[in-house]
Structure formats: structure tokens, C-alpha cells
Copies of this chain bind each other. A is one copy, B any other.
Amino acid sequence: MATALPLLNAEPDAAACGRPVPAEALSDTRAAELATALKALADPTRLRLMSIVAASPDGEACACDLTEPVGLSQPTVSHHLKVLTAAGFLTRTKRGTWAYFRVTPGAVDRIAALLPR
């Protein structure tokens, strides 16, 4: 995933300052995907939820344990957990009444590796 960024297909613009777009730049498609993933992370509550799950002793946290530390209602916390799960940053397992969450191994690293630097 983190290799071989697609070539940018913009034409060099001889009428502008004269420097063509570097071939290694992110494509429109890749930039849009990356922005979507970053938007899922770019929320203080979601970052706190991710960090609480990540720091849980066995790497797993019950949804029932996640409302109190962030001080929000269960529906609001469920929404944030759903956004993180849909983006691939958390994985969800249902056991009995409750859903349990883990940080998806490598997901953050794959996004981080794609960031321009």
C-alpha cells in the first residue's frame, strides 16, 4: 500500500514558471483517499478513543468502558467508534451484549507512510 504512488498525469505547463509537476506527487485519487482517512483521525474525541483502546492492557476495550473517559453519551461514542472502524483504524468484535474494539495493526502506519514529507 505504501509503495509506488501513482504518477501524476498533469501536463507540464510551459507557460507558467516553467517547472513541470514532479512525477512523484500524489495523484488526485490517492490524495482524496488519504484526506478521507486523515479526516477520520482528525477529531479529538476519536484520537482519545483510539489511544484508550491502544493503551488498554490487552489491547482491547469494551464500548461500555469508553463513554466515561471521554464524557460523552453512548450514542455519540458509538458514532465515533463507527467512523474509526469504517476507516479501518479499529476492528470490532461483538461478544454477548457488548462490542469490543482493537486498534487495527499497521493501519496508522500505512497512512503515515503515505504522507508527503
Contact = CB atoms under 8 A, between A and B. Distances in A.
This chain's copy number in the assembly: 2
A16 B68 contact: yes
A26 B45 CA distance: 10
A46 B108 CA distance: 20
Contacts of A43: 35
A8 interface: yes
A31 B44 contact: yes
Interface string A28-67: 1001101100110111111110111111110001101101
A22 B25 CA distance: 40
Given A55-B24, A55-B25, A116 B19 contact: no
A16 B68 CA distance: 8
Interface of A: 8, 10, 13, 16-19, 21-26, 28, 31-32, 34-35, 38-39, 41-48, 50-57, 61-62, 64-65, 67-69, 98, 103, 107-109, 112, 115-117
9 smallest beta-carbon distances between A and B, as pairs: A22-B55, A38-B42, A51-B116, A112-B112, A24-B55, A26-B51, A50-B116, A108-B117, A21-B69
